[in-house]
Amino acid sequence: MAVAKTYREAVQGAELPSLTLPPVDPLTLALFAGGSGDHNPIHLDREFARKNGFDEVFAHGMLSMAYLGRLLSNWAPPERIREFSTRFVSITPLRAVVTCSGDVTEIAVISGRRCAKLALKTALADGTVTLSGEALIQLD
């Protein structure tokens, strides 16, 4: 499938350049807790995670969404990103390697503007989909 390096090359079926992140480690989660203001101990404190039925802390869903945000902001400037939404499908465990990918599902005219509809996802190295989402990018 063709790769569209930026929104200027958007055509139906084109892929966005994918983004693979370094493994999620405890420092990643501590930095994200501080940087995002989400201090939920389920992402930081193993004892708290265990008390609530998890073996280990796991990554903030919004960390993976922010990674997908990087995929988008590498592709289009902020004022063109009209809609961006995700469903958190499964948990991202510690040490996971997250890959963000997306493709143009449709070029459509919405409220008089040409827009690219994108399908987005994050997945682990074994292929498990962790986030599934969509975005709408204004083309003109």
Partner 1 sequence: MGLGVLDKTKIGAETEEREIAVEAGMLRLFCQAIGETNPIYLDDSAARKAGYPAIPAPPTYASVLANLAPPKADLVLSVLGADLGRMLHGEQGFTQHKPIFVGDRIRLKQRIADIYDKKGGALEFVVLETSVTNQDDELCATMRTVAVLRN
Q: How far is the CB of 53 from partner 1 (least distance, A)?
A: 8
The span of 6-14, 24-32, 101-109, 113-121 binding partner 1 (CB under 8 A) equals: 24-32
Q: Which residue spans within the chain are E strands per DSSP?
A: 19-20, 81-88, 99-110, 113-123, 129-138
> Closest distance between partner 1 and the C-beta of residue 69, in Å?
4
CB-CB contact of 100 with 67 (8 Å): yes
Shorter beta-carbon distance to partner 1: residue 47 or 126: 47
Among candidates 123, 119, 122, 124, which has minimal Cα distance to 136?
119
* Least CB distance to partner 1 at residue 46 (A): 13
Candidates 5-13, 65-73, 104-112, 121-129 — which segment interacts with partner 1 by CB under 8 A?
A: 65-73
CA 110 to chain centre: 24
> How many C-beta atoms lie closer than 10 Å to residue 91's C-beta?
15
Backbone torsions φ then ψ of 119, nearest 5 degrees: -105, 130
In the complex, the smallest distance separating the C-beta of residue 52 from partner 1, rounded to whole angstroms, is 4
Q: How far is CA 48 from the centre of its chain?
A: 26
With H, G, I as helix, E, B as strand and everything else as coil, classify residue 77.
coil
Pattern of binders to partner 1 over 78-117, x per CB under 8 A?
xx-xxxxxxxx-----------------------------
List of residues contacting partner 1 (CB under 8 A): 21-22, 28, 31-32, 34-38, 40-42, 48, 51-53, 60-63, 65-67, 69-70, 72-74, 77-79, 81-88
